[in-house]
Amino acid sequence: MKSIFNYIIYKYAATIFLTGLLLVFIGCDLDETQEVTTLDNLVWSDEFDVDGAPNSQNWNYDIGDGTAENIPGWGNNELQYYTDRPENAVVENGVLLITARQESFENRNYTSARLTTEGLLEQQYGRFEARIRLPYGQGYWPAFWLLGVPETIMVDGEEVLEEWPAVGEIDIMEYLGDEPTNVFGTLHGPGFSGAESISKEFTLENDRFDTGFHVFGIEWSPTSVNFYVDGNIYQTLTREDIAEETDGEGEWVFDRPFYILLNVAVGGNLPGNPTSETVFPQSMIVDYVRVYN
């Protein structure tokens, strides 16, 4: 199992490729003929109804700045140190607060939190949905996303764990704090990761994502992934789309269990660093996370 470390690197390096610097977004194009959701059997949820630390039966923490994984800044020049302190992740008044702070901590100038359901909730296919209010300002980079659970494979006669992007990644919602009307959804896999990932942007009309709650979700089947915001599907990706977008080089790797991640990154290659105008602290406020099949 020599590649556990490598997997960890790749898991966090996924942040590098989560969006990448060269992503080319396709414009928002709603298809009103599509049925938004078909799966209504709730199999897991966190409604964040109990004040205090996030429920440890639902959530783990990723801790640090990536140095322990040999990717300082999580491989993306991010500025935050992730902690499990209540200052960075806490449930209050019926919501989860993931708060980015400007403070000196463990040789970093910002702190935040990254929660995952790895080892706790891992599901193949289904509907994953969260109701979230986002922060505002240059340098904020919150996300609601999924990573595939690696399988053990044989390489040169030795058992190893699969690495990213072989495990796949589904970015249900990413957002840059200085673009408060836009979010985007993305798939990553072999042949279409990082700068070559397949992504599409959704633009909110006459509203902003930092001034109210919005519902971000996917409905994922053996043949497709639908991305939606507030009941509007803005992107559907199929096996055929992957093949077409990658000239046949891309591999559909979304037939395995995935787990959930919620985080607020600060700075880095994609959003750029905060400026003197960026207000700290601010939180990604999560009303609920629900999973259906």
Which residue, among 5, 10, 12, 7, has the nearest Cα to 151 in the 3D structure?
7
With tokens 């979230």, the residue in question is 132
Of all residues in the chain, what percent are helix, strand and coil, respectively (each to 5)? 10, 40, 45
Helix or strand run (H / E) with residue 203: strand 198-203
Residues in the chain: 293
Residue type (1 letter), 203: T
DSSP E strands: which ranges in 25-136? 42-46, 60-62, 80-82, 89-92, 95-105, 108-112, 114-116, 122-123, 126-133
Cβ atoms of residues 146 and 108 within 8 Å: no
Task: Write out the DSSP string of 121-149.
Answer: -EESSEEEEEEEE---STTEEEEEEEEEP
Chain CA centroid to CA 233, Å: 18
How many other CB atoms are there within 10 angstroms of residue 277's CB atom?
9
Residue type (1 letter), 125: Y
Which residue, among 180, 112, 183, 119, has the nearest Cα to 145 in the 3D structure?
183
Q: Which residues are catalytic?
A: 169, 174
